[in-house]
Amino acid sequence: MKFDTPAGTNPIDQMKVVGRPTDRIDGPLKTTGTAPYAYERHDVAPDQAYGYIVGSAIAKGRITRMDTSLARAAPGVLAVLSTLDHAKPLPLGMMNIAHLFGGADIAHYHQAIAFVVAESFEQARAAAALIRTDYARDKGRFDLEAAAPTAPFEPTGDGPNAKDIDSVGDFASAFGAAPVRIEQHYTTPGESHAMMEPFATIAAWEGDKLTLWTSNQMIAWSKGSLAKILSMKPENIRVDSPYIGGGFGGKLFVRVDAVLAALGAKAAGRPVKVAMQRPLMANNSTHRPATIQTVKLGATPDGRLTAIHHSSTSGNLPDGKPEVAVQQTKLLYAAPNREIWMKLAVTDLPEGNAMRAPGEAPGLMVLEMAMDELAEKLGMDPVELRIVNDTQVDPAKPDRPFSERHLVECLRTGAEKFGWSRRNPKPGQTRDGKWLVGMGMAAGFRNNQLTKSAARIRLERDGHLTVETDMTDIGTGTYTILAQTAAEMMGVPLAQVRVILGDSDFPASAGSGGQWGANNSTAGLYAACVKLREQVAQRLGFNAADVQFADGQVRAGNRAVPLAEAARGGVLTAEDGIEYGTLDEQYQQSTFAGHFVEVAVDSFTGETRIRRMLAVCDAGRILNPKAARSQVIGAMTMGAGAALMEELAVDKRFGFFVNHDLASYEVPVHADIPHQEVIFLDYPDDKSSPMKAKGVGELGLCGVGAAIANAIYNATGVRVRDYPVTLDKHLDKLPSSWT
């Protein structure tokens, strides 16, 4: 189905099932421990052996010798794979910038250099410890701050016409002439996905056919990458990933667990399972890159922005991409003069790549703190400053309107519900015993991304429906919203729909990432349901244009027939997908939020405690408010971590992330997170898809960090511009007198 004109009235608009706060249909499996995750697929292949990954002990250099003889002779060992078995690295996957295995050269710390397969996990681990490796260490580039001054520009857009500096108007002149100006520098650290479920895979061969039961967000991408890495035909690979214990972008791409499980199973002649050890998770896989950012804002005394500059420098391995922290600044606020650029330093730290809300998460942590600083200099309420600078069109392309943009309503609704009027605008003035109390806010922004997605739906003989697609559920509620879509389209109860996900033998979906999963995957299923409705109408002798599907029946005029009757003569199957035209070029499609936070800072210790959090979201039609709320409060929790504690500590001598486990890489726990409230505005977007939905799972993170940092400033009067805002950065500056 081609979606190239705004959606008119369609069956989803009935909102009998879609749009209702529905419990997740996979919830009972998750809560009883019977949802099988990748490493737990004990029944899929008999006689599974265990693999153990050996990571490099240096970050840059070359392996000169590796002795695996003791490991090969150890009890229970079935096979030992060495990176030196390959004269050159295995080919890169479609989305990888670092080779996952093979060759003597070391590009980053904990790069996989060997793999041991044994009868038990303990035997594999013990044997791995017997491998002796000698290295020739090279000098590496591990310090972003040192590399930043000579880092080259990175184009700020896509395509051959992308410019190093994205400019509109004359920023320099406008900024120089602005009556009110701020210029500040900020940093955000590297962050780890830190998902609970590690990268894990079971691999089994049957002749030249390979099946992998793995934990991955993007099945079609991964199948293509594995075919390239393993030099196989894609049709000879099957990837299955029905349940995923969190990914946050880290599982968008194939990792070494899948590759080594496949190679190990081939070498051992039997199925092999492997889970990446927790200490390898941070350094062997990807992370959110650190940034050094500068924001310059020029405004008139009434708060109207006349000039915006936002620049960011990040680092990555050769051929890597930058953290696109400036992208939201192109669209969020109106200003006639704009200057935006990025620089990318080559570093020898592990690969930087997508983490939940890549770009906007660290970019808004900075831009929205800068807006707070400007509001203070203007003597203006931070909410009103943002409202004054709202725009209903792309600031660089005034003839391109937003499809739906209700940021002002997000901000006004949030301010009213949160009690913003009770905030003392003078910092450091509100106390509750030993606690310094403050409120902060920020705008949230994330683009709506459209990508083709397909699904298959079957009407079984008993009237039940079966949905099949390679779409994944990473804890987002995909099973449920797909079931809701099918139930709404075909007029049956939710219990009459069975959803099967994550198998590469099924039609290729959008996959889970970029907050595009829900809207696109349901739109793909919508297209398949339209085809099935036509088949049902034809078999039952109805005119497809007049037919209605409701209460388990197919109706037209005075005639009503049970849906199941259509399958009496045989199962009906329909497969289709959604493909998009140019509506996203004609209309800027984005999502918006207003984030509000109250914090308390201990005046003696500097410890910060969050007291309240509110998000007001404008994200099109909300398909399942209960699941969407869970996504937003989870994102808000990640924002709290980014603001207050998360930071990959770099050993700049030896080039690795020191805190590479869940003991030393701190993330929020229940005690850190207070009451969270989420409000969804109801503005279906007919330019987005037939579902009229947009993404929301990453919007909940965008802006939260700045709202917390702004609240800390309001509480203490101390501005910390280097995230995370830990107590050591403001303790000696806190107000000391009691009032």
What was the pLDDT predicted at 393? Answer: 98
Q: Domains, the chain, ranges and CATH?
A: 2-35+450-579 (3.30.365.10)
**Residue 439 parent element (H or E):** strand 435-447
What was the pLDDT predicted at 118? Answer: 99
Mean pLDDT in the chain?
97
Measure Cα distances from 323 to 245, 287, 347, 637 in Å: 25, 10, 13, 21
- From the number of C-beta atoms within 10 Å of its C-beta (0-12, 13-18, 19+), residue 384 rates as middle
Q: Which residues contact 664 (CB under 8 A, 6 or more apart)?
A: 658
Residue 52 and residue 114: Cα distance in Å, rounded?
8
Residue 164 and residue 167: Cα distance in Å, rounded?
9
What was the pLDDT predicted at 737? Answer: 55
Please name the residue that has the structure tokens 């620049």: 311
Q: Which residue type is seen at 129?
A: A
Among the options 339, 376, 488, 698, which is catalytic?
A: 698
What was the pLDDT predicted at 544? Answer: 86
Question: Do residues 329 and 342 touch, judged by C-beta distance below 8 A?
Answer: no
Segments of the chain with pLDDT less than 50: 739
Question: Do residues 440 and 368 touch, judged by C-beta distance below 8 A?
Answer: no
Question: Do residues 51 and 112 touch, judged by C-beta distance below 8 A?
Answer: no
Please name the residue that has the structure tokens 């595009």: 516
Q: Tens of pLDDT along 507-545?
A: 999 999 999 999 999 999 999 999 999 999 999 999 988
* CA-based radius of gyration for the chain: 27
Residue 26 and residue 266: Cα distance in Å, rounded?
34
Q: Which long-range contacts (CB under 8 A, 24 or more apart) does 90-93 make?
A: 90/229, 90/230, 90/259, 91/228, 91/229, 91/231, 92/228, 92/229, 93/225, 93/226, 93/228, 93/229, 93/253, 93/254
| 154: annotated active-site residue | no
What was the pLDDT predicted at 739? Answer: 47
CA 97: distance to chain centroid?
19
Phi, psi of 656 (to 5 degrees): -150, 165
Residue 241 and residue 46: Cα distance in Å, rounded?
18
